[in-house]
Amino acid sequence: MGYKSKLFAGVASLSLLAAQAFAAGSTRLEIQSAWPLTLPASGASAEHFAKQLEVSGADSLKVRLYSAGKLVPSLQIFDAVQQGTLNAGYTSPLYVAGRFPAVQLFGGVPFGPDALEYVGWIYNGGGLDIWREIYAKQGVVTVPCGIMDSEAGGWYKFEINSIDDLKGKKIRFAGLAGEVMKKSGASVVLLGGGDIYPNLERGVIDGTEFSMPAIDAAMGFEKVAPYYYLPGWHQPAAITELIINKRKWDRMSAQQHALIENACKDTMLWTVTSTSVANSEAIEKFKAAGTEIKSFPPSVLEKFKSSTDEVLKEQSEKNADFKRVLDSLNAYREKVALWSKNRS
């Protein structure tokens, strides 16, 4: 073999070894969304994240994204990720509020922080550190991966003129707001996104909150409920999360972790800015369909606020993690209060 032949053979061998080493370090993530991928903001954000990761991760990270219900029911995503039968899920911490009350505070707080204040606390006020500590006990890693602007107040088959109008009504609500609705006399039902429309249509439930107008429009709720309440009170901002099986996460490199974190931060910005026009267009669509746009009376909002204070106090007394998270959030909000109140 001549000199050039030996050189080319050596280069080829090194290239093959490098490719094999790179392939050995590559990771495949199978992720299921809790929402249909066609749904604005929530489902679409999962798709945006997957595309960003595919581009930035090159061959280091390969992603396969599944829509809601393709592998497991949406409300069982956490269990599947925890057990390792699913690598990762794109979901809401509110869906495991019954088991881990403290994480509700990361999914949206009634009368709580707006999107900017929420992100500030998560990244600069210690919120994410506590969140991850809670999930680490369950063998799950969380990455904030989307933040939505204020949600609407919900769809109802009846008018809400006083707090008494809620008594005995079956309403789909999640998280802390659900506890507030219980104190208002409602019977609260937790349903995955795909189950809400048929249950509202058949009268199994009398009302529902779900999300912002752009997402509600995609669900078609205006066809089965005549009253839509704006603005909302229960989620001034809502964070969605990417959860990953901890064993899977620990096998990934620091570079792969950074790729995921950065793709999620990009998705946070994209999510909160992606629906402003669509929300306005959705409200116009509802009006054209005959929907009556209503506002909660001040007396009802006052009752919701006092009930929220009661719920937060009760949860803090029952659960040390909840108190720790709430204290952290309140401390951050107090630190930024003067600027928050005067920045607009």
What would the 3-class secondary structure string for 84-124 be?
A: CCCCEEEECHHHHCCCCHHHHHHHCCCCCCCHHHHHHHHHH
Q: What is the pLDDT of residue 3?
A: 36
Paired tokens of 97: 């509020």
Burial letters 126-139, b for 16+ CB under 10 A, else e: bbbebbeebbeebe
pLDDT in tens, 249-270: 999 999 999 999 999 999 999 9
Residue found under tokens 């929402």: 35
Q: What is the pLDDT of residue 197?
A: 86
Q: What is the pLDDT of residue 287?
A: 95
Q: Which residues pair with 155 in a beta bridge?
A: 208, 228
User: Chunked in runs of 10, what are the mean pLDDT values of the chain (344 residues)?
Assistant: 41 36 67 91 92 82 93 94 96 89 90 92 95 95 94 94 94 87 90 84 91 88 94 91 97 94 95 91 94 96 95 95 96 88 69
Tell me how far apart the alpha carbons of residues 206 and 154 are, in angstroms, rounded to a whole number: 11
Burial letters 244-266, b for 16+ CB under 10 A, else e: bbbebbeebeeebeebbeebbbb
Q: What is the pLDDT of residue 121?
A: 95
Paired tokens of 21: 């080493």
From the list 120, 144, 145, the residue with the least C-alpha distance to 132 is: 144
Q: What is the pLDDT of residue 58?
A: 63
Q: What is the pLDDT of residue 320?
A: 95
240 Cβ neighbours under 8 A, 6+ residues apart? 42, 45, 90, 91, 92, 144, 145, 146, 147, 148, 271
Tell me how far apart the alpha carbons of residues 130 and 320 are, in angstroms, rounded to a whole number: 12
The helix (run of H) or strand (run of E) holding residue 241 is strand 238-245
Q: What is the pLDDT of residue 18?
A: 34
Using CA atoms, how far residue 265 sits from 27, 130, 146, 248, in Å, is 20, 18, 8, 21
For residue 231, is the peptide bond before it cis, meaning its omega torsion is within 30 degrees of 0? Answer: yes
Q: What is the pLDDT of residue 176?
A: 87
Which pTM does this prediction carry? 0.82
Tell me how far apart the alpha carbons of residues 25 and 53 are, in angstroms, rounded to a whole number: 16
Residues comprising the chain, all counted:
344
Q: What is the pLDDT of residue 17?
A: 32
Give me the sheet containing 170-172, strands edge to edge.
187-189, 170-172, 207-208, 154-156, 227-229, 292-294
